[in-house]
């Protein structure tokens, strides 16, 4: 049974990926410092899979602990690196914290991995690297734009660091996955996103408004050049996204990669406006959502959706679930969360 290290394995995408890895028979070592996650997520993973993953709780900025991790799990066959701070607004206020956290942890892991027997690495990147792309859908060849935020910059710099390592060593194999907008929750209703404080992202804001935790959703702008004036994004179900990580990891282990550094967009290929998302949510939940149009949010782009051809053809992966599936699962997760608290 191959063993994989999943950093940030109790976070939103990390926990769903851990579930999929366990379901496919892999052994998982979850590393998480609980800075933006809770220990109950470990039990939730166990209740879904019947297996409690190995858990190592520490901050990846602690170089000696990263070193210990790789000594203890020297039989690891690959690392999926999710652990990172991800609040765009906070990164603008505290840039050094973001650079320190997201880059130091990445560098320490890469140092250890370079000295390990198996050097397979999957990196959580983001479509934010494209900024406001000129051509839609966005292909992997689209130019990387000047980052809008320190958070976005840590993803760009992270990709560059990995690219440089791959250039110097043929033994090092990496894939950067550029996520579009991950949403949804596990179909069991037992695993999902746990935003700290007031949600910044659209879907948790919608579900918290629908359940009465927030008074109303503010729709940021209806004067964009889109189908109804509101922003368009490519919303992808987190379980589809999780599955793509496993396909990517297998590609590296089976030496199917075409070069030792590859990049894939992970999205559905379909763009939906904020108003379309609201409508779809109202349909699946049967709840009328209180919302109001307000000004644009600074730093927002108009439209972004993925060209999924490369992931479809080369990874053999494609998103299976619809926007409605994802919204229903997010809603079931919200209901479950509030009923039990």
The footprint of ligand UD1 (CB under 6 A) covers 88, 126, 128, 152, 181, 200-202, 205, 217-220, 231, 233, 274, 297, 299-300
DSSP 127: G
Is residue 121 a contact partner of residue 169, using CB atoms and an 8 Å limit?
no
Nearest-CB residue for ligand UD1: 231
Choose between 28 and 274: whose C-beta lies nearer to ligand UD1.
274
Strand 291-294 vs strand 3-7: parallel, antiparallel, or unpaired? Answer: unpaired
Contacts of 68 (CB under 8 A, 6+ apart): none
Burial of 177 (0-12, 13-18, 19+ CB in 10 A): buried
Choose between 16 and 251: whose C-beta lies nearer to ligand UD1.
16
Choose between 128 and 190: whose C-beta lies nearer to ligand UD1.
128
Q: Which residues are catalytic?
A: 151
Burial of 223 (0-12, 13-18, 19+ CB in 10 A): exposed
244 C-beta neighbours (distance < 10 Å), count: 24
* CA–CA distance, 39 with 266 (Å, rounded to integer): 28
Choose between 128 and 285: whose C-beta lies nearer to ligand UD1.
128
Minimum CB separation of residue 16 from ligand UD1 in Å reads 14
Choose between 113 and 326: whose C-beta lies nearer to ligand UD1.
326
* CA–CA distance, 229 with 232 (Å, rounded to integer): 9
* CA–CA distance, 244 with 311 (Å, rounded to integer): 9
Minimum CB separation of residue 23 from ligand UD1 in Å reads 24
Is residue 6 a contact partner of residue 21, using CB atoms and an 8 Å limit?
yes
Minimum CB separation of residue 108 from ligand UD1 in Å reads 23
Contacts of 141 (CB under 8 A, 6+ apart): none
Minimum CB separation of residue 163 from ligand UD1 in Å reads 20
Strand 76-81 vs strand 120-126: parallel, antiparallel, or unpaired? Answer: parallel
Closest CA to 30 of 47, 50, 61, 51: 51
Choose between 131 and 189: whose C-beta lies nearer to ligand UD1.
131
Contacts of 253 (CB under 8 A, 6+ apart): 2, 77, 78, 120
Minimum CB separation of residue 217 from ligand UD1 in Å reads 6
Minimum CB separation of residue 128 from ligand UD1 in Å reads 4
């Amino acid at each position: 049974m191959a063993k994989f290290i999943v950093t940030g394995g109790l976070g939103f995408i990390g926990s769903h990926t851990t579930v999929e890895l366990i379901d496919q028979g892999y052994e998982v070592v979850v590393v998480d410092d609980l800075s933006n996650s809770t220990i109950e997520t470990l039990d939730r993973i166990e209740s879904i899979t019947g297996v409690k993953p190995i858990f190592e709780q520490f901050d990846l900025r602690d170089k000696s602990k990263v070193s210990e991790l790789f000594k203890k799990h020297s039989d690891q066959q690959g690392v999926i690196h999710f652990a990172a701070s991800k609040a765009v607004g906070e990164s603008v206020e505290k840039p050094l914290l973001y650079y320190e956290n997201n880059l130091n942890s990445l560098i320490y892991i890469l140092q250890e991995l370079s000295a390990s027997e198996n050097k397979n690495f999957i990196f959580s990147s983001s479509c934010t690297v494209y900024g406001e792309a000129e051509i839609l859908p966005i292909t992997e060849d689209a130019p990387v734009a000047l980052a809008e935020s320190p958070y976005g910059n840590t993803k760009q710099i992270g990709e560059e660091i990995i690219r440089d390592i791959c250039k110097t060593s043929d033994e090092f194999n990496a894939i950067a996955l550029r996520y579009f907008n991950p949403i949804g929750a596990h179909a069991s209703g037992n695993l999902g996103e746990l935003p700290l404080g007031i949600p910044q992202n659209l879907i948790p804001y919608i579900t918290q408004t629908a359940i009465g935790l927030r008074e109303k959703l503010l729709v940021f702008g209806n004067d964009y050049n889109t189908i109804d004036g509101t922003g368009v994004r490519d919303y992808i179900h987190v379980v589809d996204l999780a599955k793509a990580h496993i396909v990517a990891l297998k590609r590296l282990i089976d030496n199917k990669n075409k070069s030792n550094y590859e990049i894939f967009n992970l999205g559905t290929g379909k763009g939906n406006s904020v108003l379309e998302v609201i409508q779809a949510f109202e349909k699946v939940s049967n709840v009328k959502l209180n919302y109001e149009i307000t000004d644009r949010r600074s730093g927002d782009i108009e439209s972004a959706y993925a060209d999924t051809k490369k992931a479809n053809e080369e990874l053999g992966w494609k998103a299976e679930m619809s926007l409605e599936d994802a919204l229903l699962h997010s809603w079931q997760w919200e209901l479950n969360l509030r009923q039990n608290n």
